Structure 1
Amino acid sequence: MTLPPAASLHQASGCFYQRWQSLNDWLRELEPLWRPIPFMEPAPAWRDAHPDLARWLEALPEEDCQDWEERLPELSSLLAGHVPALARYRDLLDLPRLATEAEGRQAELAEVAAVDMPGRKRQQAGAFAAAISPLGYPVLDWCCGKGHLGRTLARRGAMEVTGFEWNPELVTDGNRLAEHYGDPVRLSHQDVMVDGLKLPECHHGVALHACGDLHRRLMQSGAQARLPRLSLSPCCYHLTGDERYQLQARQTREYGECLSVDRNDLRLAVQETVTAPERVREQTTRISTWRLGFDALQRELTGNGHYLPVPSHPAGLNNGRFEDFCRWAAAKKQLTLPADVDWAEWLARGEARYRQVRRHELLRHLFRRPLELWLVLDYAVFLEEQGYRVRLGTFCDRQLTPRNLLLDAEREGG
């Protein structure tokens, strides 16, 4: 199938469905590579199907793992020698940039007025504002927090901003900031998930990183209310009330070979984060190693070949010993440990499993962005079905936020 160039996505009617269909079929073809969760499956079937790929991955030095994490498109080209379908990776993910970095900086809220606003959030709001400029309608800031995005848009020409936020403390703080700086922004305490929610007429609905069902509710309610424009950067797709994900568009739901995903699958789409501090990464590595060591131990003791989930541990265990963690986990799972456990051996097994998981996850992480784009293309198809002209692209670099996709939809005929 020949796809239209990414830069013309907002011009070619129906092209979003074609792209979604191509990406859907590609994800289905490569399902055996991304469905198995490395933390839970020590021996996924793809290792037998692609033994050379498995050997290459599992022999990677640690520094190479981190390097490839930052260069997944290049990794896809390299691994296409083992899995030819990966050669399509870059074309399937190609998207236009909707605002330059310079435009984003120009649109940022002035630092002196960005009270209670972390620098990264200020940059994200500026980039988002630049990508949806110019503004022609009053703005409805959805799940607005303290109204930082709304205040940014007010200084970009929004004549009036209404904010909906469920946390009354954030509403109070946001209204105080808007009044102090003279911004035409008014926040209201509102649960956007209630039935029968009435939206202000003829407004431009915006949402920067509203999670899961919250951003989906903006699309559904905004389209039903025939809002003239909707602009959203989705986040946390897995935060949904449905066990299995429900596609939004009629065309995608009716496609005979549609991918089926649940909440666990959707977590893959948001696993990428901006690099954490070294201390946090070291702690994460240590706890992951302990969990894998305990899992290897429980499999040996119970004869159970499946991963045993363990709840979140008390913070006090972070700087303790592997043995302490295992005894806590065993108590939580009502598992009796023998008196002669060789803790050094099981810790070594956990370390070996962690090295394997780290390398298997590198392969699985190739599919984070494809799965996310599969979801957002469905949103684009839905909005087209509701009578909107849609732009889809990125509004900032992934180093600022990995959740940098932006849907900008304007109702046909205004």
Structure 2
Amino acid sequence: MTQPTDGFLRWKALDQWLAVHGDIWRPAPFASPEPAWAARYPEMADFLMALDDEAVARFESNSMALVNELARWLPDLAVRDDLVDLPSLGGEPHPLPETRAVDMPGRKREQAGAFASAIRPLKYPVLDWCCGKGHLARTLAPFARSALEGYEWNPELVADGNALAEHYGDPVRLHTQDVLDKDLIWPVRRHGVALHACGDLHRRLIVGAAQRRWPRVSLSPCCFHLTASTDYRPLSLQAKEWSSNAGLSRQDIRLAVRETVTAPARVRRQTGLNQVWRLGFDGLQRQVRGVNDYLPVPPHPPALNHQGFEAFCRWAAAKKQIELPADLDFSRWLAFGEQRQRQVRRHELLRHLFRRPLEVWMVLDYVLYLEEQGYDVRLGTFCDRKLTPRNLLLDAIVASD
């Protein structure tokens, strides 16, 4: 290959670092009660399991403190923050005024405002990709030189968005369009923008825009695992040739987006209870079936939340065609689920140190692909992680423009 770019060198360093630690971050604690790393690093496993809930919460919000603790056993963790450090591309946010942000959650309003600030000035006609009600397009409208368009597959959202734009006099027009349609007619010379388009949706924008030589693409990718492919497939020729992380599954790459902004206390309690039930059922089904493998169970009806653990187990067993013994001690398995939840939370502390590196590694592949197609690319953050953990911004401009 030609002289390696800074983007390739960073991608390669992350690629090797992730590969070296694959046995730590690839097994999902929810499905793997006895990960190989726990036997390989028994003192580290004991350290994690000895943490009280207060310490766990502290490390969940301070990854660097955890890195400093675990570097005793994993010295390579010390380079983690350098590998994922990126510049801030944001400036003074320019959100829609609250009086005009109808149907727009406050956090989304702030995210769109920060995104808009990071990609100004706008030179080309803007197309809001997977636009919903066009909130991003309306946020960008005051800074655009011409009318803006948006593509959204849901006709109800399109109708609502167009009504909002008309009501407030915004030069925005949304169109009902499935962007994954193989017969999609691509307009010429657009600035494609996408705030948190998922998986194949943002990949279609990257590849399609590059093939049609759109002058600029600005996006914040999300939900990399939402793809029709059964495994991770790099876009760039360099990643395809040099990657040491072949064969990653959708479940593997889902780790990159498992961080969320803190939910309301009621939601956290219900999520925690559901996790206990599912882990309790997992232990139960392994014993009943005589098979020590995780068995995925679909989302349960909300009504079951009020019926207790036994009702959940009977529902899950019916779904998986498992016959439960008549003398089953459900209280035993509920206690088992509580113990496993404690273990999962502590094992996730370690695994989640690899979330951001995995995310940056995948987005750097997009950078390399666009560079291969003749774009100059900026990669950085457009807002603080407290506003959204999905705060990466990829901004690509055709090199000749």
In the superposition, the TM-score normalised over structure 2's length comes to 0.97
Matched, 1:43 2:52: no
2:177 maps to a residue whose letter is Q
1:321 to 280, 302, 308: 308
Aligned partner of residue 141 in structure 1, secondary structure: strand
The CA deviation string for residues 184-235 of structure 1, in whole angstroms up to 9 with x for no partner, is 1111111111224232222211000111100001111111111111000001
CA distance in 2, matches of 1:133, 1:351: 50
Structure 2 match to 1:87: 78
Letter in 2 for 1:16: G
Residue 129 of structure 2 aligns to which amino acid in structure 1? W
Aligned residue number for residue 12 of structure 2:
21
Contact 2:256 2:356 in 1 (8 A): yes
**What residue in structure 2 maps to residue 132 of structure 1?**
119
Relative to structure 1, is the Cα distance of residues 132 and 115 closer, same or farther in structure 2, using a 3 angstrom cutoff? same
Q: Secondary structure at the match of 1:231?
A: strand
- Of residues 50, 55, 61, the one that matches 1:70 is 61
Aligned to 1:262: 249
Question: Superposition pairs for residues 288-299 of structure 1, below 5 Å?
Answer: 288-299=275-286
Pairing 1:151–2:138 present = yes
- Once the 2 structures are TM-superposed, how far is the Cα of residue 69 of structure 1 from its aligned partner? 1.1
Aligned equivalents of 2:107 and 2:10: distance in 1? 31
1:57 aligns with 2:48: yes
What secondary structure, in the 3-state scheme, does the structure 1 residue paired with 2:306 have?
A: coil
Identity of aligned residues (%): 60
Deviation string 1:131-167 (CA, Å, 9 cap, x unpaired) is 0011111101111111110111111234221111111
Counterpart in the other structure of 1:173: 160
In the aligned structure 2, how far is the partner of 1:134 from the partner of 1:295?
Answer: 53
Label 1:154 to 1:195 Cα distance change in 2 as closer, same or farther (>3 A).
same
Quick one: distance in 2 between partners of 1:73 and 1:343? Answer: 40
Q: Deviation string for 1:344-366 (max 9, x for gaps)?
A: 22211111111001101111111
Match for residue 88 of structure 2 among 76, 82, 97: 97
What CA distance in whole angstroms lies between the structure 1 residues aligned with 2:244 and 2:315? 45
Conserved? CA contact 1:28–1:259, under 8 Å: no
Q: Is the 8 A contact 1:289 1:351 kept in 2?
A: yes
Cα distance in 2 for residues equivalent to 1:18 and 1:41 = 33
Mapped partners of 1:338, 1:82: distance in 2? 44
Unaligned residue ranges in structure 1 (runs of 5+): 1-11
> What is the distance in 2 between the residues matched to 1:330 and 1:241?
29
| Aligned AA (2:169) | G
Give the equivalent residue in structure 2 for 1:109: 96
Is 2:184 the counterpart of 1:197?
yes
For residue 258 of structure 1, report the CA deviation from its aligned partner: 4.1
Q: Give the Cα–Cα distance (whole angstroms) in 2 for the partners of residues 168 and 178 of structure 1.
A: 15
1:389 match: 376
Q: State the match for 2:219 in structure 1.
A: 232
Deviation, structure 1 residue 260: 3.0
Q: Distance in 2 between matches of 1:258 and 1:319?
A: 43
Task: After superposing the two structures, state which structure 1 stretch, 229-238 or 59-68, moved more.
Answer: 59-68
Q: Aligned partner of 1:233: which letter? A: S
Q: Which amino acid is 2:83 matched to?
A: L
Deviation at 1:257, TM superposition (A): 2.8
What is the match of residue 208 of structure 1? Answer: 195
- RMSD value, Cα: 1.4
Contact 1:24 1:259 in 2 (8 A): no
Alpha-carbon distance, 1:327 to partner: 1.5
Q: Which amino acid aligns with 1:270?
A: V
2:306 partner amino acid = N
Partner of 1:220: 207
SS of the aligned residue for 1:223 comes to helix
1:377 aligns with 2:364: yes
What amino acid is aligned across from residue 167 of structure 2 in structure 1? H
Residues matched between the structures, number: 399
1:252–1:258 contact (8 Å) kept in structure 2: no
Pick closer, same or farther for the CA change 1:60–1:168 going to 2, 3 Å.
same
CA contact (8 A) 1:165 1:171 kept: yes
Cα separation, 2, equivalents of 1:203 and 1:298: 53
Indicate if the aligned counterparts of 1:150 and 1:185 stay in contact, CA closer than 8 A: yes
TM-aligned CA deviation for residue 249 of structure 1: 0.3
Deviations for 1:26-79, whole angstroms, at most 9, x for unmatched residues? 000001111111111111110111011100001111121122111113312321
Q: Distance in 2 between matches of 1:66 and 1:275?
A: 12
Within the alignment, does 1:333 sit opposite 2:317 as a pair? no
Instruction: State how far apart, in whole Å, the 1-side matches of 2:163 and 2:308 are.
Output: 48
Match for 2:352: what amino acid?
H
Displacement of 1:110 in angstroms is: 1.2
- Aligned-partner SS, 1:209: strand
Runs in 1 of length 4+ with deviation above 3 angstroms? none
